[in-house]
Amino acid sequence: MTVTAPQPAAWPADRGLLPSEPLALLAADGEPTSCRELELPGLDVLTALHRSMVIGRRLDAQATALTRQGRLAVYPSSRGQEACQVGAVHAMREQDWLFPTYRDTVAVVTRGVDPVEALTLLRGDWHCGYDPYRHRVAPQCTPLATGSLHAVGLARAAAIKGEDTVAVTFLGDGATSEGDAHEALNFAGVWNAPVVFFVQNNGYAISVPLAKQTAAPSLAHKGIGYGVASMLIDGNDPAVVYAAARTAISAAASGAGPTLIEALTYRIEAHTNADDAARYRGEDEVRAWLARDPITRLDRYLRAAGALDDRRSAEISAAAERAAAGLRDRMATRPEPDPAELFRHVYARPTAALAAQHAQLEAGLGARHPERP
């Protein structure tokens, strides 16, 4: 698609007003909207988004199943948020960096990270299982919003070095209450840093609904106070997510500075497999959001456009099943992490004290209780 510059209609000159309705390119029924601020991506892009979303959702379901089999300690599901995670990642260029949170496993695997490596954190054999430099994906961040500052720093360094790199940092609605989110927006604004803040507003911070999180008219408004261009979009519309992220990345890369994108979406599953969502939200609410499903929406559009049929759909489903089976098989055995690794990466070279503690641990492995001399 043609990358368009930020549209004045979406970002008024005074940046003081935001449309109250989120931008959408595809309505919930898959019909194109009359939105003029952003351009509907071509069928090649939308087809790719569709495939990634179907595979991402299947892997997500497999990960949830793995918690029930005891193969994962815990899993925060991305289900329902595929448009956000897939759309934003597809909009990124090879040289850009992704700063994901713990809920963004679908984004991480869409970026190219091996699902087993992505799930290492949640399986528990190490903290981050993948090489962040390989696909330019920072470790999934468990503390909220702290990674946004890393994204701003990385982007600023790129600008200092004259590199064409944009950092895309993911946040949830709850994370926008954290001080680090505000410091990151402020630093990004002051430095005009090439950063995109992508906020997946899924309505809940574990159990706390948005109304208890903020009194702001929208989370996008939080960018305005920091001089950061901000937009509000339908986060269950993969087309608008892609177009908005592409526009923001293009703007950042061209020196126009950071953008905050608030994408309205919904967490279909509980916070994690260990959470009980029935304690704080009703089934009717979930059903209403299921009717706004991002995959169904794109499926309808692609079929109407003649870019998807039953045969093609079955082929994608089969690919998703193969991916899930591969994940299941590779996660079937319990990993045996090496205790020696506990000491290996704390410093560039282990200190004398760590070397001694390592020797102590090795000596104790499999040893019997000492007896009184």
Give the active site residues: 267, 271, 280
Q: How far is CA 191 from CA 146, 168, 194, 251, 261, in A?
A: 18, 16, 9, 15, 18
Q: Cβ 12 to other proteins, closest distance in Å?
A: 25
Q: Which residue has the tokens 């990634």?
A: 52
SS3 75: coil
**167-172: strand order across its sheet:** 97-99, 167-172, 195-201, 259-264, 229-234
Closer CB to other proteins, residue 33 or residue 357? 357
Nearest to 82 by CA among 275, 235, 220: 235
Is 9 or 190 the residue whose CB approaches other proteins more closely?
190
Q: Which is nearer to other proteins, 190 or 314 (CB)?
A: 190
234 DSSP β-pair partners: 264
Q: Provide the minimum distance between the beta carbon of 373 and other proteins in the complex, in angstroms, as a whole number.
A: 18
DSSP 8-state class, residue 182: H
Least separation in angstroms between residue 166's CB and other proteins is 12
The Cα–Cα gap between 63 and 110 comes to 15
Closer by beta carbon to other proteins, 217 or else 337: 337
Beta bridge mates, 199: 171, 262
What does the DSSP assignment read for 105-155?
A: HHHHHHTT--HHHHTHHHHTS-S--S-HHHHTBPPPB-SSSHHHHHHHHHH
154 vs 239, beta carbon nearer other proteins: 154
Which two tokens mark 23?
Answer: 């931008």
Residues in Cβ contact with 242 at an 8 Å cutoff, skipping those fewer than 6 apart: 41, 45, 46, 49, 87, 88, 90, 91
Alpha carbon dihedral 147, 148, 149, 151, in 10-degree steps, equals 90
Alpha-carbon distance of 237 to 234, in angstroms, equals 6
State the residues that interact with other proteins by CB under 8 A: 126-128, 131-133, 138-139, 143, 146, 148-158, 160-163, 165, 167, 179-180, 183-184, 186-187, 190, 341, 344-348, 351-353
Q: Which is nearer to other proteins, 157 or 304 (CB)?
A: 157
* Maximum Cα interatomic distance, the chain, rounded to a whole number of Å: 86
- Which of 245, 310, 252, 249 lies closest to 86, judged by CA? 245
User: For residues 230 and 232, what is the distance between their CA atoms, to the nearest angstrom?
Assistant: 7
Choose between 353 and 367: whose C-beta lies nearer to other proteins: 353
Q: Which residue has the tokens 């093609």?
A: 312
